[in-house]
Amino acid sequence: MNHLIPISDSAIAMRHSPVLRAVCLTLDYIHENGPIGLTATGALKRYFVEWAAAAFDWPFYTTEDLYAVNKVLNECDFPPLTIMHDLLLSARLARHRKGALHPTRLARQLRADPAALWSLLAQQFLFATDHTGYTRYGDQPMGNWDIFLNVINVEAQHGLSEDRLGLVLYGPGEGQGWRDEIRMKAALYIHVLRPLCWMGLLEEGRSGEGFERDETYFKTALWHEAFKLETDVHLDPVTQH
């Protein structure tokens, strides 16, 4: 079941959604500079990757972080850009033609209405995109969006950890090895939590480093604009971020 409600507040979508901001910046870049060149393998050329890394200001992907592990930046070195590129194509907002990325007529029309653009992107990214290709092992979480959204709606009201989400969805998991647990959490993150964060519906807070790092997820104000869920009747007063 699709619980997504078309939103009308462009400002709230722009404020919370890295995907929407990046798409708008990309469309504006093309409008001002012309189509974006592609490599022989169909990736965006390095000059745009370097521009995007700075312009997008993507949470947890700062230029300092990216250049700390890369002397130069190719599209594959900036995962949000790779995924946004895929999304533009799958949502029919852009196409490859004559060695460059061109916006479609739909993209040019929706750029003037960021709320409608966000709704299209969210529909495609959450419910029509197969995120398996972005995982290391091809894992998929057990469950569906109806279950995921209704559980997160309640559990993220005052902050939700990945451990808590796994526990509520799948139980204690006695006898489950640490490798299986890590893969389960990674699948939930790639398929569910990250798309919700990148669309601006959840906000991710991080503390600690490496294996000691903890993530906590909170619903944003955009969540309450975009979803009407069965578990709404069970909610305590809202915590918005």
Asked if residue 141 has pLDDT above 80, the reply is yes
Q: Tens of pLDDT along 67-121?
A: 999 999 999 999 999 999 999 999 999 999 999 999 999 999 999 999 999 999 9
Q: Are residues 47 and 117 in the same domain?
A: yes
Task: Report, as an integer, the average pLDDT of 191-211.
Answer: 90
The Cα–Cα gap between 114 and 63 comes to 26
Final residue in a domain of this structure, among 129, 158, 175: 129
> pLDDT digit string (tens) for 144-182?
999 999 999 999 998 999 989 999 998 886 545 556 788
Whether 240 has a pLDDT exceeding 60, the answer reads no
Residues 65 and 37 in one domain: yes
Check residue 175 and give its pLDDT. Answer: 47
Cα 231 to Cα 80, 113, 115, 138, 180: the distances in Å are 31, 30, 25, 30, 29
Q: How far, in Å, CA of 158 to CA of 146, rounded?
A: 20
Domain stop point among 69, 100, 129: 129
Structure tokens at 158: 């005052």
For residue 165, the domain's CATH number is 1.10.10
Per the structure, the complete domain to which residue 212 belongs is given by: 133-234
| 46 and 123 co-located in one domain | yes
Residues forming beta bridges with residue 75, ordered by sequence position: none
pTM, two decimals, is 0.93
Q: CA-to-CA distance for 49 and 153, rounded, in angstroms?
A: 35
Buried b / exposed e over 42-73, threshold 16 CB at 10 Å, is ebbbeebbbbbbebbebeebebeebeeeeeeb
Residue 4 lies in a domain: no
Give how many domains the chain has, as a whole number: 2
Instruction: List Cα–Cα distances, 73 to 9, 46, 138, 209, 228, in angstroms.
Output: 34, 6, 25, 24, 40
